Chain A
Amino acid sequence: MSDNDSHRTDGSGELEGSARKRSKRFETLDERAVTEDGFVNEWPEVGFVAMESPNDPEPSVTVEDGTIVEMDGKERAEFDFLDRFIADYALDVEKAEEAVAIDSESFARDLVDINVPREEIVELSTAMTPAKLCEVVNQLDTAEIIMAMKKMRTRKNPGNQCHVTSVDDNVAQIAADAAEAALRGFYEAENTVGVARMAPLTALAQQIGAQCGRGGVITQCAVEEATELELGMRGMTGYAETVSVYGTEDVFKDGDDTPWSKAFLASGYASRGLKMRYTSGAGAELNMGQAEGKSMLYLESRCVLVTKGCGVQGLQNGGISCIAIPTSVPGGVKEVAAENLITMLADLEVASGNDQTFTHSDKRRTARMMPQFLAGTDFIFSGYSAVPNYDNMFAGSTFDSSDFDEYNVMQRDLQVEGGTNPVDEETVIEHRERAVRALQVVFDELGFPPITEEEVEAAIYADGSKDMPDRSIADDIQAAEEMMDENVTGADVVRILAKNGFDEIAENFLGMLKGRVAGDYIQTSAVFEGDGDFDVVSAVNNPNDYQGPGTGHRLEGEEWEKKKDLRFATDPEDI
């Protein structure tokens, strides 16, 4: 702290000038939640800039004998391992020179031109270099990004993913919340843990709950990679998304990884019939101080293409765990929408963020999700917290269970498919009860610490873990270890459920196991319809064919009727 003689310290470490009269207006403004957020002015030299850093390369490509020998201003000899991986595996080399030569502004216009079909765009966009993809997307304003996303999303119908976690890793609560989340319409449910060793039990609880609602909700448990894969192989989960890729070589190396090692891991999932996507997102490289002065969007476009090159079907991006870095600078919220769009241009599934806290302001968190919400993405939230944020073990999501009604009302207000539906209290209670009763039986038969009647009752009616009685984590950890040691698999759980009269959950659980054998749901943007028939809906059998009014996915008919059903609306007939 300086010894500036025009000021004196007030003892709290802040400088105090001569008594300045404050505007009451500004005092009121200072009280607003948004002033608590961290904002930073741009610093392009180190990459503290959302889009268009002066250090971003100009797009270019040269192909000789079917090999990319120069890309984005670098000769092949100067390529770092990301450049090399992208050049060799991610780009359509045959079309690369043509794609890079196209005028970026005119191609950007094609993105928002309803007369240009998606397939035509993809043919060229999948041959574009990272810098070219940025240059194209940089031409768009936010409304145009929304229009482009509407056309470029791979699957025709948008969807949503949720988080189901408990700060106490309470299994009864997790089963009940997964059942409710399934009923509310989420296609995917993601769990993680407070205590790592609890993962087998929380994954099991989530899977039982998720299969008691609609049947076909795909679940994951985000933990250490080897454990995660093993839980999937045993049928306790159905997908994974927490394999991370980065936009600079230094950050990759810090994690002792390369694009090749990530590709190897991805094949571990794919070869066992498990759906998987990668995770990246703006800000990760800056967080490590290794952004090489490049814009967040340019680095993210490299992540997208590394994912493409690995042969992985999709990507979770849009800031994710470093979201408060892009949103601290001008254009940051636009940038996260732009990185979602680049993922679509690479013809990949996108789980579009909106998953982690970045602001104290309710208005800001709502505005941040509008591009993905209005355009519709494969998973608008990745994930929406289906539990109160105090239970959210991903350190809080932008929307949580207390926003369920408001989110449904937004869909009802704007006639937009947001991936959740209104539900009534009685049905929710019924589903929660079925889930936790099923879990109780499974725990009993496996000889795990009993789920007491008191816990069952509490889980049915709980909002969060604060409503649950205490449960010994140490005993559960021991059970989790037994479960792994004794090779308990999904098939064992199905058998127990069927034997004890939980036929529907058993059928649905079995459906998930069969899904892995068939492998259809590892196709791009695949989900199960969720009606218990286990029909896969993906970019392959339900491609997005949006080309303006009257085409693509439209919220109408039965689906629209569901959204209208607000539980606290007045029925004119009642008056």
Chain B
Amino acid sequence: MAQAQQQKRSLQLTEKGVAEEGTDTDEVVISISAGFNEMKDETLAGEKHADVLREMMAGLEEEGVTARVVRFYDNLDLGVIGLEGARLSGSGISIGIQTRGTTLIHQEDLVPLNNLELFPQAPLIDLETFRAIGKNAALYAKGDTPEPVPVANDPMARPKYQALAALWHIKEMQHKDESKEPTEMEVSFE
């Protein structure tokens, strides 16, 4: 399969039905927004969603924690989907991610705008950081208190990306469906 390996990894997300509340304390839910891998297949930083998800899952697996992927259609607010994901997660911990790449780690007993770790500048999040986010989420799931993943700051991120980020968010709102329940997704990489 040498030829296939040279190609970009692609991601298939298939609906498996309404997401149930988990009981396995060794799991972390990855909450993805309505347009993730649909409206776009990469973040504002240009990282492919396939790679982003793979890295977060690898970060979790390294620590012996399983990932469940749940898509939220009814809300685009990262704080909300992060928190709702945490409530579905057996460990009470979730990672939330929007199409543009804005990411957080959430916990079931917090309020939406409070969270464990927030990565607000989507254009600055690289794959290495996504892996570290996965690892930290796993550590929280196991009851540890890891050092937070360092947050990048760049005064020129706003000039380059703020308007685009708003535009992506508005586009993603067209994928919103308030009547649709959080949905368990089957993940396959090709």
Interface of A toward B, CB cutoff 8 Å = 1, 13, 36-40, 43, 46, 48, 254, 283, 286-289, 322-325, 327-329, 356-360, 389-390, 392, 395-396
Contact = CB atoms under 8 A, between A and B. Distances in A.
Interface of B: 8, 41-42, 46, 48, 76-77, 153, 155-167, 169-170, 172-173
B159 to A, nearest CB: 5
B166 A287 contact: yes
A396 B163 contact: no
B77 A254 contact: yes
Nearest to A396: B155
B162 A13 contact: no
Contacts of B48: 13
The 10 closest A-B pairs by CB, nearest first: A396-B155, A328-B163, A324-B162, A38-B163, A289-B170, A289-B169, A357-B155, A40-B163, A324-B158, A286-B166
Nearest to B40: A1
Contact of B153 (A40, A43, A395): A395
A322 B42 contact: no
Contacts of B157: 395
The prevalent SS among residues of A at the interface is loop
A323 to B, nearest CB: 8
A13 B40 CA distance: 13
A39 B158 CA distance: 12
A546 to B, nearest CB: 34
A322 B162 contact: yes
Nearest to B156: A360
Given A1-B41, A13-B46, A254-B77, A48 B170 contact: yes
B155 A389 contact: yes
Nearest to A256: B113
5 contacts: A289-B173, A324-B158, A324-B163, A357-B156, A395-B157
B116 to A, nearest CB: 15
Contact of B163 (A36, A39, A356): A39
Given A38-B161, A392-B155, 13 more contacts: A1-B41, A13-B42, A36-B156, A37-B159, A38-B164, A39-B163, A283-B166, A287-B165, A289-B172, A325-B162, A328-B162, A359-B159, A396-B158
B155 A289 contact: no
A327 B166 CA distance: 13
A79 to B, nearest CB: 24
B35 to A, nearest CB: 12
Contact of A286 (B42, B160, B170): B170
B41 A46 contact: no
A168 B68 CA distance: 38
A127 B76 CA distance: 38
Contact of A36 (B41, B153, B159, B166): B159
A37 B155 contact: no
A470 B104 CA distance: 30
Nearest to A288: B169
A151 B165 CA distance: 37
Contact of B160 (A13, A36, A288, A323): A36
B169 A324 contact: no
Contacts of B8: 13
Q: Which one of B157, B160, B166 has the greatest number of beta carbons of chain A within 10 Å?
A: B166
A341 B8 CA distance: 52
B160 A287 contact: no
Given A48-B170, A357-B156, A325 B42 contact: no
B44 to A, nearest CB: 10
Nearest to A167: B153
A239 B153 CA distance: 27
Contacts of A323: 158, 162
A356 B165 CA distance: 17
A395 B152 CA distance: 11
B162 A48 contact: no
Contacts of A39: 163
A38 B8 CA distance: 27
Nearest to B10: A1
Contacts of A13: 8, 42, 46, 48
A287 B169 contact: yes
A360 B159 contact: yes
Contacts of B77: 254
Given A13-B46, A395-B153, A357 B169 contact: no
A289 B159 contact: no
A22 B16 CA distance: 50
Contact of A395 (B42, B158, B161, B170): B158
Contacts of B166: 48, 283, 286-287, 289, 322, 325
A95 to B, nearest CB: 37
A548 to B, nearest CB: 38
B59 to A, nearest CB: 23
Nearest to B153: A395
Nearest to A255: B113
A390 B155 CA distance: 8
Contacts of B160: 36-38, 360
Contacts of A287: 162, 165-166, 169
Contacts of B162: 38, 283, 287, 322-325, 328, 358
Nearest to B164: A38
B159 A48 contact: no
B51 to A, nearest CB: 11
A433 B164 CA distance: 45
Contacts of B169: 287-289
A449 to B, nearest CB: 23
A372 B169 CA distance: 31
A2 to B, nearest CB: 11
